[in-house]
Amino acid sequence: MKSMSNKIIVGFKGIESSSGAVQWAANEARARHAELHIVSCYEYPSIAAGVGYGVDYGAGATYDVIRSTAAANAAEIRASIDASHPDVMVSVDVVPGPATMVLLDGLDDDDVVVVGASSHDGAAAFWLGTTPRHLVHNSPCPVAVIRGSVGGGAPDRVIVGVDGSRASGKALRWAGDEADRHGAELVVVHAWDYPYDPTDTASVQGRDLTEIDAACTLDRAVETARERFAAVVTPTLVEGGPVMALLETARDGDILVLGSRGRGALRSRIFGSTANSILDAAAVPVVIVRTDPDDDHSTNLDAEHALATA
């Protein structure tokens, strides 16, 4: 098990959702013995926005107020984390610019970047709108999106979706390390669906074969996880779509983990849609583990299983 990452980077906006993200990030930094880096981003209003409306921003004074407010909020959250997590090394940057750019600066593969999301449903609810999605698509390291209240302890369960792809293999490795790190249960979920109504013997047999194939995919992932990790591993096979399977499996106290790509171009688009839907609807922390198509270090679950049993 990999016990450390370089750092945990968390975006802070001075609002409730980002405060929850900082608390989650601090818990993660403590578990990993990693540095916690809090980044408070702020943007100046466009003076052009007031043209025609009789608005006088008083640019110099406005800029000072925005900057000083961001700095004061950052100092307050740092004091809170220093008190609640005295064993965590904390650094703070107050930086002008959009979070979508600032939070990506200087990331390494072993980092984790964390952002908060509104407690409301829907894509428009995300903090700074498209920030989580932009990070998911562009970050070289896992991205954790935090919605709702966050406890101070370890997660009860780490739930990971698998589909036999490289992306889900990488997500499984991250989730298994996370479960071991926190002493949590690892729940491995695979969803399957037969797209036709069984109308005759052949179609019934086709459905049965689809279910068997799905069970084999799940079994390979579970066997790999049990050989590699110390956590209790629980398999969950669900008939239906992956979004429904993951959301219905998750409960308060869990972490949801999934990869950002699936099998091939078509499955990649489908898996991307799954990630977006999960980000919109999940009431628990969601971690997206991104895999590049040319990532030579990522292997699929079948290859991992073969190596583990060789």
Confidence (pLDDT) at 46:
60
Give the pLDDT of residue 134: 83
Would you state the pLDDT for residue 293? Answer: 56
d(CA 12, CA 9): 10
pLDDT at position 66: 87
Please tell me the predicted confidence (pLDDT) of residue 63.
80
Token couple for 184: 């949590």
Q: In whole angstroms, how far apart are CA 126 and each of 115, 142, 236, 279?
A: 9, 18, 29, 9
Side chain identity, residue 160: V
Q: In this structure, what are the phi and psi dihedrals at residue 51, rounded to the nearest 5 degrees?
A: -65, 130
Quote the DSSP letter at residue 68. H
Q: How far apart are CA 43 and CA 117, in angstroms?
A: 18
Sheet holding 185-192, edge to edge: 90-96, 35-42, 7-12, 112-117, 143-147, 286-289, 254-259, 157-161, 185-192, 233-239
In this structure, what token pair is assigned to residue 15? Answer: 């609002």
- What is the pLDDT, as a whole number, of residue 274? 82
pLDDT at site 263: 43
Angle between helices 16-32 and 59-84 (to 10 degrees): 40
In the chain, DSSP assigns E strands to 7-12, 35-42, 90-96, 112-117, 143-147, 157-161, 185-192, 233-239, 254-259, 286-289
Lookup: tokens for 105 = 């600066």
Q: Quote the CA–CA distance of 201 and 206 in Å, as a whole number.
A: 9
Angle formed by the axes of helices 301-309 and 166-182, nearest 10°: 60
Output Rg (C-alpha) for the chain, integer angstroms.
21
The low-confidence residues of the chain, meaning pLDDT below 70, are 1-5, 16-17, 45-61, 118-130, 148-152, 198, 202, 261-272, 292-310
Using CA atoms, how far apart are residues 139 and 115, in angstroms rounded to an integer?
A: 12
The rounded distance, in Å, linking the Cα atoms of 63 and 44 is: 6
